[in-house]
């Protein structure tokens, strides 16, 4: 009876996924038809260009930038410096993301998760997106040079170039390790935040760089498990597309343990208080437990929605945000 029940659940889950795909396909086709037939209002046009920058992705990047500035300053950093770093950092990341949208416009149109992006819906022209992205890159670089410092500007330029040329144009469509090495670009805000305050680099920000680097694969792979068919259709060899669910989840568990270990290494290296240590231990335990729950489910043969990879994905967001919050406020307890 249990086997029959599990099979029924899987069939039901599969039907639900198929129905979701069909509904979303109709909605996307309708939205694209409307976009092609009716000109956008000024507000909609502005919104489309803002969407090119992927604000939700940038939000997570800024969450890792600000706490490092507190850590580097060993207290409250200069407010003007913080605002300048966040504004130029937003524009720098927006530049990379906009150009990425230009490069990926063909595959974005094929994937459920991305086919509502401006280029896929023909709300922005490819040339317009490319010029917009390049302009943001130039403005952010000049802004960093004039109001922050040259090192922060150089790191920002490196992040843009790496994300565009190394990840978007080389790694993403060619290797299952795309997000592992491509994730380096997403770690750069940590170094930029430290450099903005100190004008130099040290071991401490590189440990936090390591936390984000190790956190990125399991975070992204669980999202890719949810949209596995999308990536396969688009020809992007994400690990969940080319490997078994057990292999993917096993690697997620390994990276999760490594992330927590790196977060704990920051405690003595940055001379943080026991407050950070306790927070890192508790958050790490929750993060690891959820990774092992995912492994248990895959070992039971559960797949698709029943595997619940998005539960781990959302938890990983919370984990990183709270961990970096602990980094930011630790000085209050010294």
Domain that holds residue 173: 47-199
DSSP states along 198-241: HSS--HHHHHHHHHHHHHHHHHHHHHHHHTHHHHHHHT---HHH
pLDDT in tens, 237-293: 999 999 999 999 999 999 999 999 999 999 999 999 999 999 999 999 999 999 999
| Residue 180 belongs to a domain | yes
The answer on pLDDT for 13 being more than 50 is: no
Are both 208 and 303 inside the same structural domain? Answer: yes
Are both 165 and 133 inside the same structural domain? Answer: yes
Are both 140 and 265 inside the same structural domain? Answer: no
The mean pLDDT value for 315-319 works out to: 96
Q: Which of 103-107, 110-114, 294-298 has the lowest mean pLDDT?
A: 110-114
pLDDT at 2: 37
Are both 117 and 84 inside the same structural domain? Answer: yes
Calpha distance 96→137 (Å, rounded): 8
| Residue 137 belongs to a domain | yes
Domain count, the chain: 2
Are both 188 and 220 inside the same structural domain? Answer: no
pLDDT in tens, 53-81: 999 888 888 889 999 999 999 999 999 99
pLDDT at 20: 45
Are both 83 and 191 inside the same structural domain? Answer: yes
The answer on pLDDT for 120 being more than 50 is: yes
| Residue 17 belongs to a domain | no
User: Which residue among 178, 199, 220 closes a domain?
Assistant: 199
Calpha distance 235→228 (Å, rounded): 11
| Residue 80 belongs to a domain | yes
pLDDT in tens, 155-167: 999 999 999 999 9
Are both 306 and 255 inside the same structural domain? Answer: yes
pLDDT in tens, 124-140: 999 999 999 999 999 99
The answer on pLDDT for 111 being more than 60 is: yes
């Amino acid at each position: 009876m249990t086997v029959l029940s599990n099979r029924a659940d899987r069939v039901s889950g599969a039907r639900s996924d198929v129905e979701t795909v069909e509904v979303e396909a109709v909605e996307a086709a309708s939205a694209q038809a409307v976009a092609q037939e009716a000109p956008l209002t000024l507000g909609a046009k502005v919104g489309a260009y803002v969407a090119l920058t992927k604000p939700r992705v940038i939000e997570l990047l800024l969450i890792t930038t600000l706490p490092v500035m507190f850590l580097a300053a060993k207290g409250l950093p200069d407010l003007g410096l913080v605002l300048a770093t966040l504004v130029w950092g937003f524009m720098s990341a927006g530049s990379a993301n906009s150009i990425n949208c230009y490069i990926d416009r063909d595959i974005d149109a094929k994937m459920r998760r991305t086919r509502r992006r401006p280029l896929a819906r023909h709300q922005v022209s490819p040339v317009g997106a490319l010029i917009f992205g390049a302009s943001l890159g130039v403005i952010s670089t000049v802004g960093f040079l004039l109001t922050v410092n040259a090192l922060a500007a150089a790191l920002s330029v490196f992040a843009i170039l790496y994300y565009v040329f190394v990840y978007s144009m080389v790694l993403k469509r060619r290797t299952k390790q795309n997000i592992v090495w491509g994730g380096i670009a997403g770690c750069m805000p940590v170094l930029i935040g430290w450099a903005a305050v100190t004008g130099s680099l040290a071991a401490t920000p590189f440990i936090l760089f390591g936390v984000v680097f190790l956190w990125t694969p399991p975070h992204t792979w669980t999202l890719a498990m949810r949209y596995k068919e999308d990536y396969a259709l688009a020809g992007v060899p994400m690990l969940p597309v080319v490997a078994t669910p057990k292999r993917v989840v096993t690697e997620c568990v390994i990276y999760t343990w490594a992330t927590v270990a790196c977060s704990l290494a920051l405690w003595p290296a940055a001379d943080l208080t026991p407050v950070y240590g306790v927070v890192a231990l508790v958050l790490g335990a929750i993060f690891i437990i959820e990774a092992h729950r995912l492994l248990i489910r895959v070992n039971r043969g559960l797949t698709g929605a029943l595997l619940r990879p998005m539960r781990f994905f959302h938890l990983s967001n919370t984990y990183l945000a709270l961990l970096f919050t602990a980094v930011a406020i630790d000085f209050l307890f010294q």
